[in-house]
Amino acid sequence: MDLWCVHPIMHLSIKFEMTLHHKTLCIDLGLAEYKQSWDYQEQLCRQLQKAVLNGSYANACNYLLFVEHPHVYTLGKNGKPGNLLVNSKFLNKIGASFCMTNRGGDITYHGPGQIVVYPLFYLEAFRMGVRQYIENLEEAVIRMLNDYQIKAMLMPGAIGVWLDADTPAARKICAIGVRVSRGISMHGLALNVNTRLEYFNYIHPCGFVDKGVTSMEKELHSNLNIHEVKENLRGKLAKAFDLEFV
């Protein structure tokens, strides 16, 4: 399946009533190592889980993390190592690292010029399951790309956002994958803005061997202001999930 990671929601067992809200703290981590950002996600996830368990969710908040990573390939726990097509010596040559993760799905690439978003949401408060959550992420990205006159769409049977999905020229512009841990979402989406696409040549992205990848820069033939794209996407996500930023 075309996922970074998808796990069923495991709801926390709550025996008391609590005030549900969409209060969300948006944090831009700038350029940060993948493992460092992953550890930070885990930390925030534990904090939010604890708040839900002890009945203090009303005083807590969800999180929306934005980040760019240095060149890195990540492989999910169910991924095939053979989908990384180069060895460690070559990775050193191109300045990339490799990281095994605890998510599901196969291999993907992150690097500078790519906007990565990690929402940490208590999905019960948003009244949605994993499928609806992913669909909201996809819709937010599609609406944002439409603002740049990029006609994006879904591909039947695949997760993420695509261009010309119903043609042999199908190519992915945004990968989406989530993990839900005790009701809290983790991981998220990776949108290619000014991404160096040659780095995808060294993997079978998400396990696909017959699908291409693209970026906003490639489609528009122009380097974009990534901060403006980020703000646009932030707004679309806020609307899709009815977020109340704090």
Nearest Cα residue to 112 out of 196, 220, 235: 196
* pLDDT number for residue 103: 73
Tokens read off for 239: 């609307």
Q: pLDDT 10s digit of each residue in the chain, 246 long?
A: 334 444 444 445 444 456 789 999 999 999 999 999 999 999 999 999 999 999 999 999 999 999 999 999 998 777 788 889 999 999 999 999 999 887 766 788 999 999 999 999 999 999 999 999 999 999 999 999 999 999 999 999 888 999 999 999 999 999 988 899 999 999 999 999 999 999 999 988 665 656 789 999 999 999 999 999 999 999 999 999 999 999
DSSP-based three-state secondary structure for 21: coil
Residue 103: DSSP 8-state: S
Architecture (CATH level 2) of domain 23-245: 2-Layer Sandwich (3.30)
75-99 in b/e burial notation, b at 16+ Cβ within 10 A?
A: bbeebeeebbeeeeeebeeeebbee
Catalytic site residues?
206
pTM assigned to the model: 0.90
C-beta of residue 11 within 8 angstroms of C-beta of residue 183: yes
* pLDDT number for residue 80: 82
DSSP-based three-state secondary structure for 132: helix
